[in-house]
Chains A and B, each alone.
Chain A
Amino acid sequence: GAGVSQSPSNKVTEKGKDVELRCDPISGHTALYWYRQSLGQGLEFLIYFQGNSAPDKSGLPSDRFSAERTGGSVSTLTIQRTQQEDSAVYLCASFLDANTGELFFGEGSRLTVL
């Protein structure tokens, strides 16, 4: 596709349920990021994938959060046993290379935990 695609755009779930959020980056972009945007907050880094290297998971807030990237393309962010404080917009971005520096963001997945 022309841009970064995220699904679902909206997800409402009950506390304690697991959720999966999907990101389809721009074709050819080797790096992929997940950020979290809570109400009134900035963009909180979660995880970074670069090519075949081990991902940088330093931003994941707890062991309930995990992410994988299959075949160097599509990524899935999984939140287990969701809590109300997990409610936020989860943004995915892809990145071509350091020469440009630009991150291309998707429109995000809005998660609401009741």
Chain B
Amino acid sequence: GENVEQHPSTLSVQEGDSAVIKCTYSDSASNYFPWYKQELGKGPQLIIDIRSNVGEKKDQRIAVTLNKTAKHFSLHITETQPEDSAVYFCAASGGSYIPTFGRGTSLIVHP
């Protein structure tokens, strides 16, 4: 089955800095890579996703890049703000429609 590794487990940055979270996957058949943000006491919420037919996608301050050859994808957050503090999960899925999630990254943005 699919295996998703996510790093780092904790990331601490100063407000205004950039943050990068990286994930690798094992199953070359995976073709959909979403990123979810989970705030304290809430369920995860989709913030951005990318499909295997594109290499990069951007939405305001967040962007995701995908390298299919190396089987890794990354989340980039620029100009971080305190409200970006949360746990971020990457995931990968293919034809089974059952996403496999990484272990999560706790992002702390210091004002």
Contacts and interface: CB of A to CB of B under 8 A. Distances in A.
B49 A101 contact: yes
Q: Is the interface of B mostly helix, strand, loop or mixed?
A: strand
Interface string A46-86: 00101000001000000000000000000000000000000
Nearest to B99: A103
Interface residues of B, number: 25
A98 interface: yes
B103 A105 contact: no
Contacts of A35: 101
A48 B98 contact: yes
Contacts of B101: 35, 42-43, 45
B44 A91 contact: yes
B6 interface: yes
Contact of A91 (B43, B97, B98, B99): B43
Interface in A1-53: 4, 31, 33, 35, 40-43, 45, 48, 50
10 contacts: A42-B101, A42-B104, A48-B98, A95-B97, A98-B97, A101-B51, A101-B93, A102-B49, A105-B36, A107-B43
